[in-house]
């Protein structure tokens, strides 16, 4: 806190009062620090795939790669480019939420229908991973920004599929409980150690960096969920057991 007392010495005799200016700079400084860290993280995350792409291009240009190996290296360039595209997409989504640049037209969204749409979108990834993914429950209406609600449900379900194993299951359940709509995403996946559960909503935080990279994570998915929840006055709770699975619950005020 910075406090400034202002008075004019020449008029001190006639002085009848003083102006005290109190500014809370703690919040501002924290935001500044946050921004600096975010920029450093983004730069690092963008640089890694680009370095790999340019390294591969370099060895191809120098004729070091045998013609029969070209498809393999082309595949690597493609994968790294996809990683960049997903990352940039997530950064744009997050900064839109951060700066309240979300179109404010709210509409009534049925969360069960939303969950079923997401299950449909992820069905081929789930099948590829050998994971069964289903959505059930009752209809529950939320007043919100459809696109953001879709991104939130998608990110939770995608994680439940990604951090899972062949033969695993994911259930999405929607219930209207009194004046709330409760959406639960439960999986039988690898789980999250208790000490990490409080950190997974931080930007770029991953429990296991190499695993996340292997399954295609950006580390921003749950930050988008957190910001989206704040926008919709929803609460988030996590319950997880390593090697058993994870359940993440979003509780929205009902429309
Ligand atoms: P990512 O893009 O790496 O998946 P997220 O922000 O979506 O990033 O999640 C952050 C981290 O939380 C993940 O890297 C993973 O370690 C952990 N995590 C998220 N959801 C789950 C889940 N359902 N089961 C196990 N771990 C999870």
The DSSP-derived string for 98-148 is HTT-S----EEEEHHHHHHHHHHHTHHHHHHHT-EEEEEE---EEEE-HHH
Residue nearest to atom 23 of ligand 1 (CA): 160
Q: Which ligand 1 atom is the nearest neighbour of the CA of 209?
A: 14
Confirm whether the ipTM is greater than 0.90: yes
Quick check: 205 pLDDT over 60? yes
Average pLDDT, the chain: 90
Q: What are residue 246's DSSP bridge partners?
A: 187, 240
Q: Which ligand 1 atom is the nearest neighbour of the CA of 189?
A: 24
What is the distance in A from the centroid of ligand 1 to the CA of 200? Answer: 7
DSSP state at residue 193: -
What is the distance in A from the centroid of ligand 1 to the CA of 225? Answer: 11
What local confidence, expressed as pLDDT, does residue 38 receive?
A: 85
* Segment holding 6, helix H or strand E: strand 2-6
What is the distance in A from the centroid of ligand 1 to the CA of 92? Answer: 19
Residue 253, both tokens: 């005020």
pLDDT band at 37 (very low <50, low <70, confident <90, very high): confident
Cα(209)–Cα(155) distance, rounded to whole angstroms? 17
What local confidence, expressed as pLDDT, does residue 10 receive?
A: 55
Q: Which ligand 1 atom is the nearest neighbour of the CA of 248?
A: 23
With a 6 Å cutoff on the Cβ, whether 154 touches ligand 1 is no
What is the distance in A from the centroid of ligand 1 to the CA of 206? Answer: 6
Residue nearest to atom 19 of ligand 1 (CA): 159
Return the number of other C-beta atoms located less than 10 Å from residue 217's C-beta: 23
Quick check: 168 pLDDT over 90? yes
**Range name among 5-19, 45-59, 135-149 with the lowest pLDDT average:** 5-19
> In a mutational test of the pocket of ligand 1, which residue from 222, 236, 242, 247 has the highest number of ligand atoms less than 8 Å from its CB?
222
178-191 residue pLDDT tens: 999 999 999 999 99
What local confidence, expressed as pLDDT, does residue 32 receive?
A: 82
User: Cα-flanking dihedrals φ and ψ of residue 145, to 5°?
Assistant: -95, 110
Cα(235)–Cα(231) distance, rounded to whole angstroms? 10
Percent above pLDDT 70 for the chain: 91
> In a mutational test of the pocket of ligand 1, which residue from 83, 91, 163, 237 has the highest number of ligand atoms less than 8 Å from its CB?
163
β-pairing verdict for 132-137 and 141-144: unpaired
What local confidence, expressed as pLDDT, does residue 98 receive?
A: 78
With a 6 Å cutoff on the Cβ, whether 114 touches ligand 1 is no
Kindly report the pTM of this predicted structure.
0.85
Quick check: 12 pLDDT over 60? no
With a 6 Å cutoff on the Cβ, whether 155 touches ligand 1 is yes
What is the distance in A from the centroid of ligand 1 to the CA of 239? Answer: 13
SS3 1: coil
With a 6 Å cutoff on the Cβ, whether 170 touches ligand 1 is no
Rounded average pLDDT over 235-252: 97
DSSP state at residue 182: E
């Amino acid at each position: 806190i910075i406090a400034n007392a202002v008075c004019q010495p020449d008029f001190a005799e006639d002085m009848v009062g003083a102006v005290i200016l109190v500014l809370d700079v703690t919040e501002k400084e924290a935001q500044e620090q946050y921004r600096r860290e975010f920029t450093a993280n983004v730069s690092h995350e963008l640089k890694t795939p680009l370095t790999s792409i340019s390294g591969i291009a370099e060895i191809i240009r120098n004729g070091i790669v045998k013609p029969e190996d070209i498809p393999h290296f082309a595949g690597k360039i493609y994968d790294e480019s996809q990683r960049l595209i997903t990352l940039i997409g997530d950064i744009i989504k997050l900064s839109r939420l951060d700066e309240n640049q979300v179109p404010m037209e709210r509409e009534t969204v049925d969360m069960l229908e939303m969950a079923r749409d997401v299950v449909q979108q992820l069905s081929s990834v789930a099948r590829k991973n050998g994971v069964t993914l289903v959505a059930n429950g009752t209809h529950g209406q939320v007043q919100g920004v459809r696109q953001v609600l879709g991104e939130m449900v998608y990110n939770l379900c995608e994680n439940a599929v990604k951090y899972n194993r062949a033969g695993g299951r994911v259930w999405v359940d929607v219930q209207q409980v009194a004046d709330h709509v409760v959406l639960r995403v439960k999986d039988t996946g690898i789980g999250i150690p208790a000490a990490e559960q409080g950190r997974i909503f931080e930007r770029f935080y991953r429990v296991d960096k190499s695993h996340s990279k292997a399954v295609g994570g950006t580390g921003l998915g749950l930050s988008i969920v957190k910001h989206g929840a704040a926008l919709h006055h929803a609460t988030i709770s996590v319950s997880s057991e390593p090697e058993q699975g994870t359940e993440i619950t979003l509780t929205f005020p009902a429309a």
